[in-house]
Chains A and B, each alone.
Chain A
Amino acid sequence: DVVMTQSPLSLSVTLGQPASISCRSSQSLVHSDGSTYLNWFQQRPGQSPRRLIQKASNRDSGVPDRFSGSGSGTDFTLKISRVEAEDVGVYYCMQGTHWPRTFGQGTKVEIK
């Protein structure tokens, strides 16, 4: 199985400051069709997960533009340009290239 490794596992950020989460995969996530199926999800406390980013860098409709995804191959990053109070929660990367699909351990974001 592809192992997804996130870092850090916990992040304490001052409001208005940037935040960055790394996600590394044990195998390349480039699919035979040429796409890279790396997703980012946000799970706010007490809520179901919500997709933020698909195919490594494509932001979902309604997701604030302070969220951005980047990376390729095995190395990916989710960045929040200016953290707001509503961004508190746990962030997961997930690969959709290989079977079985696998999630990262999650990164808990809190406000300092």
Chain B
Amino acid sequence: EVQLLESGGGLVQPGGTLRLSCVASGFTFSDYGMTWVRQAPGKGLEWVSGITSGGVNTYYAGSVKGRFTISRDNFRNTLYLQMSSLRAEDTAVYSCTRGLWSMDVWGQGTTITVSS
């Protein structure tokens, strides 16, 4: 079964850092570009960041550029999102998804709360 399982969420203070992980299973991870999408409480979907299958090219939303870093370990079938200088507006459920121009598989998400 194709699955994406996120972890690493939690409560963090403004200005803090956090690293999210997403373990993929059931497909050849290294064949796919991957994307992070977030959803703030009661709000719509927001595209955050994407990375090509080999990890060479990365892309970011303007709202996170310079603060978040996407990376991947194709040996460990794991996608990462390193988040720094966190703000209250980063509070959201962060979901790992498969694909770059479209997303056909979604994880359940991990919740980040930025608050003092």
Binding site for B on A (CB under 8 A): 1, 31, 37, 39, 41, 43, 48-51, 54-55, 60, 90, 92, 94, 96-97, 99-106
Known A-B contacts A48-B106, A99-B59; the reply to A41 vs B45 at CB < 8 A is: yes
Q: How far is the CA of A45 from the CA of B11 in the complex (A)?
A: 24
CB distance from A41 to the nearest CB of B (A): 7
Would you call A51 and B104 a contact (CB within 8 A)?
yes
Residues of B contacting A99 with CB < 8 Å? 50, 59
Would you call A48 and B44 a contact (CB within 8 A)?
no
- Tell me whether B113 is interfacial, beta carbon within 8 Å: no
Chain A-chain B contacts (Cβ-Cβ < 8 Å), number: 60
- Tell me whether B26 is interfacial, beta carbon within 8 Å: no
Q: How many chain B residues touch the partner (CB < 8 A)? A: 22
Residues of A contacting B37 with CB < 8 Å? 49
CB distance from A55 to the nearest CB of B (A): 8
Q: Which residue of chain B is the closest to A97 with respect to CB atoms?
A: B101
Would you call A37 and B108 a contact (CB within 8 A)?
no
Q: How far is the CA of A106 from the CA of B102 in the complex (A)?
A: 17
Would you call A48 and B102 a contact (CB within 8 A)?
no
Cross-chain contact of B35 among A37, A54, A60, A101 (Cβ < 8 A): A101
Q: Which residue of chain B is the closest to A99 with respect to CB atoms?
A: B59
Residues of B contacting A60 with CB < 8 Å? 104
Q: How far is the CA of A39 from the CA of B106 in the complex (A)?
A: 14
Q: Which 6 A-B pairs have the closest CB atoms?
A: A96-B101, A101-B47, A106-B44, A48-B106, A37-B101, A103-B45
Q: How far is the CA of A52 from the CA of B61 in the complex (A)?
A: 24
